[in-house]
Amino acid sequence: MPSHADEDLVDQIYEAALIPDLWPAVLGQMAGRTGSIGAMLFVTNHQAVSRWTACEGAAPIVTDWIREGWPARNTRPARMFAEKRAGWVTEAEIYTPEELLREPDYLGFYHPRGLGHAAGTGIFLPSGDLGVFDIQRARAAGPIGPAGKAFLDRLRPHLGRAALMAARLELERIRASVALLATIGLPAAVLTVSGRVVAANALLDALQGQVIPRAFGRLGFHEPAADALLQAVLSRKDPAAGGSSIPLPALDERPPAVAHVLPMRGMARDLFANAHTLVVVTPLTGGAAPDADLLGGLFDLTPAEARVARGLAEGRTLDHIAAAAGTSLATVRTQLRHVMGKTGTSRQAEIVALLAGARGFAARAEAAPPPTDAAKGQGTGPIPTAKTRSAKPTASLHKG
């Protein structure tokens, strides 16, 4: 029968759905209640782990597990889902003792670290990825017993609902972000780690021809060289290390444009929706320089960095920007390097091109009619979006 401790933990699970920083504490309690070394939560696209979080005891284990490439050799998820069980599954339920002695990850990773007993459960997410909760127990302690498994099974419905609730909240925030970019004239889409479109605004849909849909809900460009560059950027092992800018030639009546592929720094804490990359396409047309506060919000710029970006968009030199700010040219050059790193640009001219589509949020907001459903980022145009389907490691979410 559920105890008051169970009820308190359930409350914390739902709080973690809203505040991701709370997941490590929840996972720590799950590990403690089952006499385990640690618990973890990770998101996978069935090929690689894209995001994860863990309690203090499990964080070093996950770090080593991913760094050494064990997720690709892990057979547990496939066996777990082959059993078609809704609850938690232990290794004893999916392997024979003889099989465990031959499993590469047990021989090469778990046993050398004193591990060897685990339980896990998975939840399919609206992004199309799989969320996996996993608990690791010391080999010497023996497998998780019936009482521990019953405790985990009582939590399973709450973990599933919390994960789905968090995923939907994150997807709504992503759609709101691309809708905001539409209001200032910037076509944009948000992609998962595998390059699948999570959300795209109506302005990006209107670029059909220059921007094209690809197989499996991915994004592409019409011009082959530009498309090859995009796919190369998206296939990087660590695309969040920096952004890239890709020129798009004019097509029919559409002007040339610059596509900026940016890591989702502002959404680095999104675990379940798996927002990973922002693609902003800027048509090369004139326009007023955007507001510095708006720039800071869009590209995670500090106030000083945003002033540098706005100054460049207004046609000022670095000397003028430094004089106006009362700072040294060396400081402004440092701020410029930070702006380039955060906006995926490598030259001042690219920064100006990126900001050319922003007309000034306040003026546009006053003049614009109420947004339609398409302008809210519902993905009604030709660019496909994902459909809903039936380190201080203790305080952060991590990218795989």
Which of 197-206, 299-308, 331-340 ranks highest by mean pLDDT?
331-340
| Residues 6+ positions from 30 with CB-CB distance below 8 Å | 9, 36, 39, 133, 135, 152, 155
> What phi and psi values does residue 92 have, to the nearest 5 degrees?
-70, -20
Helix (H, G, I), strand (E, B) or coil at 380: coil
Helix (H, G, I), strand (E, B) or coil at 254: strand
Q: Of 258, 27, 251, which is closest to residue 134 (Cα–Cα)?
A: 27
| CA 241 to each of CA 63, 304, 395: distance values in angstroms, whole numbers, following the listed order | 18, 22, 21
| CA 228 to each of CA 59, 245, 358: distance values in angstroms, whole numbers, following the listed order | 36, 13, 27
Mean pLDDT of 357-362: 38
Mean pLDDT of 42-65: 84
Q: Of 387, 386, 383, which is closest to residue 219 (Cα–Cα)?
A: 383
Q: What is the pLDDT of residues 117-132, one digit of tens each?
A: 999 998 887 667 788 8
Burial code (b: 16+ CB inside 10 Å, e: under 16) for 184-201 equals bbbbbbbbbbbbbbbbbb
- pTM reported for the whole predicted model: 0.58
Handedness of CA 291, 292, 293, 295 (dihedral sign): positive
Show the tokens assigned to 90: 């232990």
- Which helix (H) or strand (E) is 204 found in, with range? helix 202-205
What CA–CA distance (Å, rounded) separates 27 from 31?
Answer: 6
Compute the mean pLDDT over every residue in the chain, rounded to the nearest whole number.
78
Show the tokens assigned to 103: 């499993």
Question: What secondary structure does DSSP assign to 108-148, as a single string?
Answer: IIIGGGTEEEEEEEEEE-TTS-EEEEEEEEEGGG-S--HHH
| Residues 6+ positions from 298 with CB-CB distance below 8 Å | 180, 181
What CA–CA distance (Å, rounded) separates 12 from 176?
Answer: 27
Query: Sorting pLDDT into bands at 50, 70 and 90, what band is 59?
Result: very high
Angle at 213 between CA 364 and CA 169, to 5 degrees: 60
Q: Is the pLDDT of residue 65 over 70?
A: yes
Q: What is the pLDDT of residues 212-229, one digit of tens each?
A: 888 778 888 988 888 888
